[in-house]
Structure 1
Amino acid sequence: MEIILANPRGFCAGVNMAIDCLDEAIRMFGSEIYVYHEIVHNKYVVERFTKQGVTFVNDVSEVPEGSILLYSAHGVSPEIRNQSRERKLQTIDATCPLVTKVHLEAIRYARGGYHILLIGHEGHDEVIGTMGEAPESITLVETPEEVAELPFGPDDKLAYLTQTTLSVTEAGAVIDALVERYPHIESPPKGDICYATTNRQDAISQLAPQADLVLVLGSQNSSNSRRLKEIGEAVGKPSYLIDTASELRPEWFEGINTVLISAGASAPEVVVEEVVDHLVKTFNATMREEVIREEHVHFPLPKELRRLQVTN
């Protein structure tokens, strides 16, 4: 058996920043820290921090007054920030800068009198946070079919934004439908889909035809990881999304000669290594790494970490 290891894969700059931010906060203040929602959508990462004593919450009311609360990489709405102030919480914002970019675009378009059509998945943390910036001015659109049902006229001021972790093809289909129905719809100067999301999708698209099977490391609630699995399936390959090597099934590998392995932007490299080691030991697999694109993006830690250190 041969393993093709896709590169780029795994942590993006935003995820690296958020995880480094929480690691640094623990180093500076101890593990009695709260995080609003999962720091990133990955079971392995969340469990690692939970074992260290970090508490993940789904409601600000769960955080004791005066405590340290870290906002996850997916961002939060102004309402959550207001609730944090009311509880006198010391907050650290680990929102990915690319998500912040979408929030700022939403604010700008709303102030300009536009109604925003946000392309994304209902219930996703990032979508909830973005819509919270201007709830009266944003309508969520998930599919091209929904575009035909929109109540807006040809003269309405419209703009579209996208969730950063969508499939490029998926978002493109909705954008095409929007532009066809509303030719004058506005869009941001630069697309919203994350560079890392695009790169990992391109790697799967280019390498999957060489493989008999696609394995994607990532959690089921990770939007970008699910898109990678779907791309493998679209190429016609059996594709599986797993958190760890323990989820591998022997029957998946019957008659399989080549396995493509990638990882979503929130999946750590250690879980990739576990899967590779398992295949090497079980099937005497060999490995080659295919670099589709190099990445050199880095985001600095939020400044409020240092400010909190001074005040504490």
Structure 2
Amino acid sequence: MAMTEEWVLLAPRRAEARTLRRGLPVGAPLRRAGVGPARATHAAARHRGAAVLAVAGVAVGLSPALRPGDLVVATEVRLDGVPTDTVACPAAPLIAAELRRRGLKVHIGPIVTVGRPADGPTRDRLAATGALAVDTESAVLLAAARRPVACVRVIGHPRPRSALTRLAAFPVPPPLRAVGPALAEWAAACTVRQVLLATPRSFCAGVERAIAVLDRTLAGADNAVYVHRPIAHDGHLLADLRRRGAVFVDDPAEIPDGAPTVFAAHGVPPAVRADALRRGLPVVDATCPLVARLHDEARRAAGRGDTVLLVGHAGHAETEGILGQDPDRITVVESAQDAERVEVTDPEGVSYLLQTTLALDDVRDVVAVLRRRFPALTGPAPDQVCYAATHRRAALRAVAAHADVVLVFGSADSSDSRRLVEVALRGGTPAYLVEDVGAVELRWLSGVRTVGMTAGVSAPPRLVDEAVVALSGLGARVREVGGAVTDRPSTARPDPADPPRISA
């Protein structure tokens, strides 16, 4: 008779169950399944009613990279010879990250269940399929669950010469003890039923364009391509670009003579451009078109004698590029307090520009002070205002209003990503800034039903996509919130979805 349970952790052997029990609280739903596919079939029938089912125990390693005591978190569990019986375990990255935070060595990949002892040729065949470990129960046990499911195995021996049946005699490696609490955290997070995705999110058009430019440059280059400043605030993306030959530098002097050079989306000061020209560097300019327009407007305003007040963050790459257009006439204003103190030569000749990575709600107070102090103030034209950050915050507010917790994907170095977290927190919703799905802590999701997600303008869409898959392993479904909007409206036909502009 099938048992109806919230969640169950199954361990094939008595020794495995005993080790797991040491890490679990009294009364935890740990059950013995028995060794081998026949006993696993009976155990599966008994626990068919479990809403959440996990398997943990010892396995035989198939990869030479595995060592005794290493843990394998299954991305899927296959029944050897029966491909239709493959069971997906999409929450594997979340569980693996939980175990790594406990100081354990963890691998992620497929586990294969076999019905008979696996000799050397069989193990080699299974290893060639990409499987990391082999056991005799997991696929049979997990086939009984509706979802979610999880499987974690500790390696008892990397590539044993003995028959697989000898696995029952292996001592249980101590790391298995830590698996129980991690799986309990996962089970507690299996309350998540919905993921709300803020739209728009992730890369803005300028960053997408810069990455495409760099991709093409790398594809056509025989040697390293030098990039002035990181092209985005994402460690994974930058690491991939470095593997392909990109070298990111803060100082143009680090670029060898004759080396292909890319200017990133934030743009560069004229001095950097002139130095590249003087040295004959083959430059590919990936400056965001909006930033390039700000450069042009800064030069025009300074050329007619205006004091140009640049509302932005001092030291930011984009701000430095704009400031460099005419350092004597351009002043950075970071806050309303700065706006109260700034001095100008002629109050009748004052212009202001906005750093593109700021949302309009970042600058409203600053601009209001400047308008009060300088009534003749001239502002940017509509096609010089970037709405990427503004739109992403508006979408996040809509998501956060219906979410129990918000995950913002992006780098801690990204001011835009940090501001998105602040937006959710100001609305009363707990929010966390995470670099990837591996940084998501299961305890944040315990008892949660709705998770909101977004990503900063310099974070790749892949980060959210991977998290969506992982949270599907908690039982969550996905819904988009928001709609298609343009980051930069046309001056001829403003996008009706755009929020109110700061008028000139």
Asked if Structure 1 and Structure 2 have the same fold, meaning a TM-score greater than 0.5 normalized by the shorter chain, the answer is yes
Q: Secondary structure at the match of 1:186?
A: coil
Match of 1:309 in 2: none
Letter in 1 for 2:356: T
Counterpart of 2:156?
A: none
State the shift of 1:141 in Å: 0.7
Q: Shift of residue 42 of structure 1? A: 2.2
1:197 counterpart letter in structure 2 = A
Q: Deviations over 1:224-264 (max 9, x none)?
A: 22222221122121122221111111222233221110111
Instruction: Assess if the C-alpha contact under 8 Å between 1:70 and 1:93 holds in 2.
Output: yes
Q: Separation in 2 of the partners of 1:59 and 1:224? A: 24
Q: Which residue matches 2:335? A: 143
Q: CA 1:42/1:124 → structure 2, altered by over 3 Å: closer, same or farther? A: same
Structure 1 stretches (4+) deviating beyond 6 angstroms? none
Q: Give the equivalent residue in structure 2 for 1:220.
A: 412
Matches within 5 A, 1:109-120: 109-120=301-312
Indicate conservation of the 8 Å contact 1:165/1:193, yes or no.
Answer: no
Gaps of 5+ in 1: 298-312
Return the offset for 1:197: 2.0
Name the structure 2 match of 1:310.
none
CA drift of 1:223 comes to 2.7
CA contact (8 A) 1:166 1:193 kept: no
* 2:477 aligned partner: 286
The answer to whether 1:273 aligns with 2:465 is: yes
Deviation, structure 1 residue 108: 0.8
Q: 1:129 aligns with which of 321, 331, 355?
A: 321
User: 2-side partners of 1:181 and 1:88: how far apart?
Assistant: 46
Q: Distance in 2 between matches of 1:260 and 1:287?
A: 10
Normalised by the length of structure 1, the TM-score is 0.90
Q: 2:286 aligns with which of 75, 79, 94?
A: 94
Name the stretch that deviates more: 162-171 or 253-262: 253-262
* Residue in structure 2 matched with residue 61 of structure 1 by the alignment: 253
Determine the structure 2 residue equivalent to 1:168.
360
Counting helix residues as a fraction of each chain, which structure ranks higher? 1
Counterpart CA distance in 2 for 1:163 and 1:295 is 18
Higher alpha-carbon deviation: 39-48 or 171-180 = 39-48
1:66–1:88 CA contact under 8 A, matched in 2? yes
In the alignment, the residues of structure 2 paired with residue 3 and residue 75 of structure 1 have an alpha-carbon distance, to the nearest angstrom, of 36
2-structure distance, mates of 1:271, 1:206: 21
Asked if structure 1 preserves the Cα contact closer than 8 Å seen for 2:387 and 2:486, the reply is no
Match of 2:297 among 97, 102, 105: 105
Q: Which segment is superposed worse, 25-34 or 1-10?
A: 25-34
Do the aligned partners of 1:163 and 1:192 also contact (CA within 8 Å) in 2?
no
Within 1, Cα distance between the matches of 2:359 and 2:428?
17
Match of 1:302 in 2: none
Aligned partner of residue 136 in structure 1, secondary structure: coil
What residue number does 2:376 align with?
184
Q: Secondary structure at the match of 1:3?
A: strand
Highest Rg: 1 or 2? 2
Question: How far did 1:44 drift?
Answer: 2.1
By how many angstroms is 1:55 displaced?
0.8
1:198 deviation in Å?
2.1
- Provide the TM-score with structure 2 as the length reference: 0.57
Q: Which has the higher contact order (CA 8 A, sep 6+)?
A: 1
**Residues 164-187 of structure 1: per-residue CA shift (max 9 Å, x gap):** 011221111111111112121111
The answer to which of 108-117 and 207-216 deviates more is 207-216
Contact 2:231 2:265 in 1 (8 A): yes
CA contact (8 A) 1:116 1:158 kept: yes
Partner of 1:300: none
Work out the CA distance in 2 between the residues paired with 1:295 and 1:114.
31
Give the superposition deviation at 1:50.
0.7
* 1:189-208 alignment, distance < 5 Å: 189-190=381-382, 192-208=384-400
Q: CA RMSD in A?
A: 1.9
Shift of 1:77: 0.4
Which sections of structure 2, spanning at least 5 residues, go unmatched?
1-191, 489-504
Which residue type is aligned with residue 199 of structure 1?
Answer: H
- 1:139 Cα shift? 0.9
